[in-house]
Amino acid sequence: MESNTPGKRIGIMGGSFDPVHSGHLIIAQDAVEKLDLSEVVFIPASIPPHKRHLRQVSVEHRSNMMKLAVESDLRFSVSDLELSRGGISYTFDTIREFRNAYPGAELFMIVGSDTLVDLHNWHRIEVLLELCEVASFIRPGEDDLDAIAEKIKLGGEQKDRLLRNVFGAHLIGVSSTEIRRRVAEGLSVRYLTPPEVEMYIFEHGLYQG
């Protein structure tokens, strides 16, 4: 990571990206526009805390697919920070490293609005919310803002901050699970993921059975 320019606004988007799909990229673009971001950094997780028992393709494949997906968009980049660190990927550790590398930047953690109701379970969430803003985007099938607010278990000023940064997103009903299933069943994933990623999946025989 390079040192920052004061006033830079950086979006950070983590996940398994197994594989990355069009919905990830569209939410990142929405975030750039809604939050006036300088860039969005995608960070593939080594072992997500909530998915530690699930099988994933190798970290190398997930990183390669993510880099192929964003290589033509100068607004987006990929960091292998969590993959290099290994072990369980806690967002707190990642945001702390970004805060140290970019002390003058504004950091925005980009999540789906469904994540808000689970934030109270996150590792060191109290400190994490002091290091960055959380920007959440309402996706297909999720509750409206009032329903989400009732389910958030963080209180007071923290809850108010979270609700100030909830935005509508383009409604793209696609998931990594669906892509993996379709590949395993021999169905097309065209338009669900960038063509470079589609080609990579089939060239390397990923998700096939």
pLDDT in tens, 166-192: 998 887 889 999 999 999 999 999 999
Give the full edge-to-edge strand order of the sheet including 166-168. 76-78, 39-44, 9-15, 106-112, 133-138, 166-168
Burial label for 39, CB within 10 Å (0-12, 13-18, 19+), is: middle
Tally of domains within the chain: 1
pLDDT value at residue 2? 54
Residue (of 86, 35, 30, 78) closest to 58 by Cα position: 86
pLDDT value at residue 5? 61
pLDDT value at residue 151? 84
pLDDT beneath 70: ranges in the chain: 1-5, 50-54, 139-141
DSSP-derived 3-state class of residue 40: strand
pTM above 0.85, yes or no: yes
pLDDT value at residue 52? 59
pLDDT in tens, 111-122: 988 888 899 999
pLDDT value at residue 111? 93
Task: Decide if 189 is inside a domain.
Answer: no
Q: Which residue intervals of the chain are DSSP H helices?
A: 22-35, 59-70, 81-85, 91-101, 125-131, 145-151, 156-164, 176-184, 195-203
- Alpha-carbon distance of 97 to 109, in angstroms, equals 13
Residue (of 202, 204, 207) closest to 185 by Cα position: 207
Expressed as residue numbers, the domain containing 42 is: 9-173
pLDDT value at residue 113? 85
Task: Decide if 179 is inside a domain.
Answer: no
pLDDT value at residue 173? 84
Task: Decide if 185 is inside a domain.
Answer: no
Q: What one-letter code names the amino acid at 143?
A: D
CATH of the domain at 44: 3.40.50.620
